[in-house]
Amino acid sequence: MRERALITSFPSARFAIRPAAVNDAVEIAHVQTSSWQTSYRGILPDSILDTMNAARRVSMRREILLDGDALNLVAYDSTHRDLVGFCNAGPSRREGTAVGELYEIYIVDRAKRFGLGRDMFESVTDWCRANRMSRMIVWVLEKNQHARRFYESMGGRAGARMSSTVRGYPVVELSYLWDRL
């Protein structure tokens, strides 16, 4: 009987996560624009999504990246060498510094369902614990069923609702809470 050659395979890590740098601002702005245009289609009016401009978001992204009290991560595609997602978190804007808040987490369509959202979320909870934050909150558009299912799968429970606007369009934001990290 002939022996089969032992084939060893090493899975390649197509996507990875790293701390964001200020020079990532342009690519982050493009990721945000692309993600909004696909994720919020049918939730926000096309007129808002179709007129989004990544170039107008770059200076805001730089300011966010310079905040020393926040966590900023990017997900990148090692094959195409581009950014495919980002998240940022910090002390809660409404609940105080003892509570962490996931401000944003966005991933472009082609990189969804590879575990990047979960990995970034877990990095945020680790960061919150390391910064003595025992609870966490995130706000999502109430009509964003994909985001809601994601946060529920991560153990969040629905909390308060708040009326808000996106470029003048009325929306309802729903909080998800983690009482123990």
Residue 48's domain is classified under what CATH number? Answer: 3.40.630.30
For 2-154, where are the alpha helices, taking DSSP H only? 25-39, 46-50, 58-65, 116-130, 145-153
Q: What pLDDT does 58 receive?
A: 97
pLDDT digits (tens, 9 = 90+) for 65-93: 998 889 999 999 988 899 999 999 999 99
Residue 102 in any domain: the answer is: yes
CA angle 34, 37, 42 (to 5 degrees): 160
Residue 155 in any domain: the answer is: no
Residue 10 in any domain: the answer is: no
For residue 65, give its domain range: 15-134
Residue 174 in any domain: the answer is: no
pLDDT digits (tens, 9 = 90+) for 88-141: 999 999 888 899 999 999 999 999 999 999 999 999 999 999 999 999 999 999
**Which residues 6+ apart lie within 8 Å of 10 measured at CB?**
none
Residue 115 in any domain: the answer is: yes
| 50 backbone φψ class: left, alpha, beta (φ>0; ψ -120 to 50) | alpha
Residue 112 in any domain: the answer is: yes
Whole-structure pTM value:
0.89
Structural domain total, the chain:
1
Residue 179 in any domain: the answer is: no
- Pairing mode, strands 15-19 and 135-141: unpaired
